[in-house]
Every structure is written in structure tokens, then in C-alpha cells.
């Protein structure tokens, strides 16, 4: 994202788009994962702007020719907000 001074509507749409492409939501957890560090950082910034708590981790697959994976876990207390934005119930959603 070139500028982080986007409107709340843009940030909400950005969040929805990323969750629908590289996200996974269940009743008590939500996860976004990417091989792009910049995309994971932009997603983290979006969560912060939307008032959600999160934690980040990286994972290097031991198999040959694998990229580092950046994962953002939306904390349990923020998952209800996540469901509200995505208009989902507590059921598992994987697009």
C-alpha cells in the first residue's frame, strides 16, 4: 500500500479482500498468510487501524525451493469483530 493514510472504508475493503483470498476464519480464530512480507505488514497495519489485536509469525518450510511464509493471527478477542466485518457467522469460512 503506497500510502497508509487511506479512508476507513478503503481499509475495511482491503481487509475483506485479503481475508477472502489468503485468509481463513473459524469460530474462535482468524488467520492471514502470505509469502509477501510487505503484504503481511500492510495487513497488520490494517488490523491495527480497524482496532483488532493480532500477532505475527514467520515459517520456513524445510522442503526445497520454498519461500518464507508470513502469518498474521487475529487474536481471539478480535475474532467477533472480524466476523462482523466479513458478515460471517461463527462457522468455519474458507473462500
Position 4 scores a pLDDT of 66
Cα-Cα-Cα-Cα torsion 82, 33, 50, 56, nearest 10 degrees, comes to 110
pTM of this prediction?
0.82
Beta-carbon count within 10 A of 65 CB: 5
Position 95 scores a pLDDT of 45
Tell which phi-psi region holds residue 27, choosing left (phi > 0), alpha (psi between -120 and 50) or beta: alpha
Q: In the structure grid, which three cell numbers stand for residue 17, read together?
A: 479482500
pLDDT one-digit tens code per residue, 37-78: 999 999 999 999 999 999 999 998 888 888 899 999 999 889
Instruction: Name which of 4-8, 68-72, 91-95 the model is least confident about.
Output: 91-95
**C-alpha to C-alpha distance for 4 and 27, rounded to whole angstroms:** 30
Position 72 scores a pLDDT of 97
Average pLDDT across the chain, whole number: 86
Amino acid at each position: 500500500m503506497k500510502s497508509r493514510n487511506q479512508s476507513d472504508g478503503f481499509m475495511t475493503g482491503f481487509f475483506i479482500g485479503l481475508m477472502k483470498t489468503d485468509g481463513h476464519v473459524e469460530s474462535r480464530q482468524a488467520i492471514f498468510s502470505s509469502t509477501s512480507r510487505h503484504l503481511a505488514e500492510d495487513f497488520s497495519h490494517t488490523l491495527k487501524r480497524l482496532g483488532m489485536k493480532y500477532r505475527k509469525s514467520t515459517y520456513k518450510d524445510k522442503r526445497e525451493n520454498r519461500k518464507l511464509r508470513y502469518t498474521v493471527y487475529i487474536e481471539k478477542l478480535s475474532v467477533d469483530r472480524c466476523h462482523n466485518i466479513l458478515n460471517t457467522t461463527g462457522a468455519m469460512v474458507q473462500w
